[in-house]
Amino acid sequence: MFRTKRSGLIRRLWRSRAPVEGDGETDRGTHGSGGCCMGKTAKVAKPNAGSEAELKALTHSILKKIKEKQLEVLLQAVESKGGARSPCLLLPSKVDAKVGQQSYSLPMLLYKVFRWPDLRHSSELKRLSCCESYGKINPELVCCNPHHMSRLCELESPPPPYSRYPMDYLKPPDSPDSGPSSSDIGGTTHSAPVGLSDSMAMQESGERAHWCVVAYWEEKTRVGRLYSVQESSLDIFYDLPQGNGFCLGQLCSDNKSQLVQMVRAKIGYGIQLTREPDGVWVYNRSCYPIFIKSATLDNPDSRTLLVHKVFPGFSIKAFDYDKAGSLQRPNDHEFTQQPRTGFTVQISFVKGWGQCYTRQFISSCPCWLEVIFNTR
């Protein structure tokens, strides 16, 4: 039978749909899509044969109405799992599709089929700032590229007791295990405040002011120089097709630890750090969880810090500008440990730290980042 290019694209797209739990496929990129913060998940039951056939027929009928060039854009995004830069897929936002008793908008259907089978409502989503539809309210055409979206990390309230990172556990600044705030953590390690001179020199030379700098650490040793960030968005990755940003794979590391090397290889597409009007967002582009500690994610009246687990495909507001202004309390232990340039956010790849882990301090994590904000 004669097969057109369009029908071939549609078949490839259907084969690349997001797997549902129990269908015999595994995709770490969609693991944990039910929520964030210490492993809150929602299982998705495998659809029965009838609903699967109905979904397939509906998806095929919709894809057949999409232009061939648009199908190629969608296929590029889906097959690369967001690794390749793909343009927006602008389609009518008012078209509804019905699966069983449930109605979905056209964008929601494509997001469910190709990224998150458990997706229930558009309020669970956050559009990435790279998208043409970012910030637009009720446009006639909306981007339906599934990899221009992320899932919102919903913070548990109150957080479970095992995710708390008590202030009492923080060691004095001169302790060997206190992390980058210490100037005595061995060998060629640089403390964040001292290393910041790399970036400050750039600013003094007349270059555009940075809004943050990023330090990459392997356990207690900082690897490479501080990365100064001027653009509103930064990709931090180990291996990313068409990658442009802070490539950790290009840094020279002398660490021979098997655990460090294993975690380094799992960083993959890494994270996207974005400065937006309401704060700084972190999008987990990798196939494994990341762990974040930030003072603005915590309850301002709490004497504990929280370490938040962010699953692949999820975004979290790691730094809130409004909250940061009200948290500068001179007697607060957390803020007396901050570098003199402002607040920091700590992000660990793959491995967590805190009370529910064997690693009590982030300086024991194999691969992690320190994001230091310029608040001046």
Q: Which of 68-72, 192-196, 224-228, 317-321 has the lowest mean pLDDT?
A: 192-196
Q: Is the pLDDT of residue 30 over 80?
A: no
Cα separation of 365 and 360, whole Å? 9
pLDDT given for residue 376 in this prediction = 62
pTM: 0.80
3-state secondary structure the chain: CCCCHHHHHHHHHHHCCCCCCCCCCCCHHHCCCCCCCCCCCCCCCCCCHHHHHHHHHHHHHHHCCCCHHHHHHHHHHHHCCCCCCCCCCEEECCCEEEECCEEEEHHHHHHHHHCCCCCCCHHHEEECCCCCCCCCCCCCEEECCHHHEEEECCCCCCCCHHHEEEHHHCCCCCCCCCHHHCCCCCCCCCCHHHHCHHHHHHHHCCCCCCCEEEEEEECCEEEEEEEEECCCEEEEECCCCCCCEEEHHHCCCCCCCHHHHHHHHHCCCCEEEEEECCEEEEEECCCCCEEEEEHHHCCCCCCEEEEEEECCCEEEEEEEHHHHHHCCCCCCHHHHCCCCCCCEEEEEECCCCCCCCCCCCHHHCCCEEEEEECCC
Angle at the Cα of 267 from the Cα atoms of 201 and 277, rounded to 5 degrees: 55
Cα separation of 123 and 109, whole Å? 14
The closest of 111, 55, 58, 103 to 82, measured between CA atoms, is 111
pLDDT in tens, 47-65: 555 578 888 888 998 899 8
Q: Which two tokens stand for residue 322?
A: 């409004």
Q: Which two tokens stand for residue 372?
A: 């230091």
Q: Is the pLDDT of residue 178 over 70?
A: no
> Confidence class of residue 176 from pLDDT cuts 50, 70 and 90?
very low
> Confidence class of residue 255 from pLDDT cuts 50, 70 and 90?
confident
Angle at the Cα of 136 from the Cα atoms of 135 and 138, rounded to 5 degrees: 140
pLDDT given for residue 301 in this prediction = 65
Mean pLDDT of 177-198: 37
Q: Which of 42-46, 139-143, 202-206, 300-304 has the lowest mean pLDDT?
A: 202-206
pLDDT in tens, 145-172: 999 999 999 775 544 444 444 433 333 3
Q: Is 145 exposed, middle or buried (0-12, 13-18, 19+ CB in 10 A)?
A: buried
Q: Is the pLDDT of residue 195 over 60?
A: no
Cα separation of 18 and 181, whole Å? 42
Which of 304-328 are b and which e, b meaning 16 or more Cβ less than 10 Å from the residue's Cβ?
bbbbbbbbbbbbbbbbbbebbeebe
346 compared with 326, residue with greater pLDDT:
346
Interhelix angle for 106-114 vs 49-63, to 10°?
120
What are the structural domains of the chain? 5-14+52-152 (3.90.520.10), 212-373 (2.60.200.10)
pLDDT given for residue 256 in this prediction = 87
Q: How far is CA 91 from CA 94, 141, 179, 286, in A?
A: 9, 5, 48, 27
Query: In sequence order, which residues have a C-beta less than 8 Å from that of residue 15 and are 6 or more positions away?
Result: none
Q: Which two tokens stand for residue 327?
A: 């948290």
Cα separation of 309 and 255, whole Å? 26
User: Which residue is listed with tokens 């009720």?
Assistant: 138
